[in-house]
Amino acid sequence: MRLRSQSDVEGRFRRLYTVWVGNDPSQAKRMNVRSVEEKAGRLLVSLETVETRTQAQEYVGKHLYVEEKDMEPAPPGRYYVHDLIGCSVRSGGHTRGTVTDVLLMPAQDLYVVACGGKEVLIPAVPAIVTKVDIEARCIDVAELPGLFEDEHED
């Protein structure tokens, strides 16, 4: 099966023996990996129970999930999306909201922050995101005029 990887860790899938395949993690099916090839930017994965093209068609559009214990550590200064979601966001000494999603964009990622009934998009660049503490579940961002509207503003 041909996969589109969202990992930028070289050789990431060659070190996997078990994956979960499905529309979401709660409904995914555990499958053993037979082999993995990376050719010209494409990832070709063979799963033990998928023998024919017809069987492979059953998995078109599905996601491949990896258990946390099988994940590579994130490179320094990089974070997994699932680790960022749920982190509180602070700016100017105040908690402003919570990360609800991360948009993986070509120029930089954007943190989607639920803030006072609104969504705020925060570019994940060092000039704006000043500190990420996954252990404390907190992200500090620079104070930028207009980024977070205070309740007393119109």
Give the integer Cα–Cα distance in Å for 119 and 30.
35
Long-range contact pairs involving 48-52 (C-beta distance under 8 Å, separation at least 24): 50/1
pTM above 0.95, yes or no: no
- 17 near 33, Cβ under 8 Å? yes
Residue 14: is its pLDDT beyond 80?
Answer: no
- pLDDT per residue over 68-103, tens digit each? 888 878 888 889 898 999 999 999 889 999 999 999
Give the integer Cα–Cα distance in Å for 96 and 114.
8
Per 3-state DSSP, the chain is made up of helix, strand and coil in percentages (nearest 5) of 10, 40, 45
Locate the domains of the chain by residue range: 2-70, 81-141
- Quote the CATH superfamily of domain 81-141: PRC-barrel domain (2.30.30.240)
Q: What is the pLDDT of residue 129?
A: 96
First CA to last CA distance, the chain: 53
Q: What is the pLDDT of residue 152?
A: 42
- pLDDT per residue over 132-152, tens digit each? 999 999 999 999 888 887 544
CATH (residue range 2-70): 2.40.30
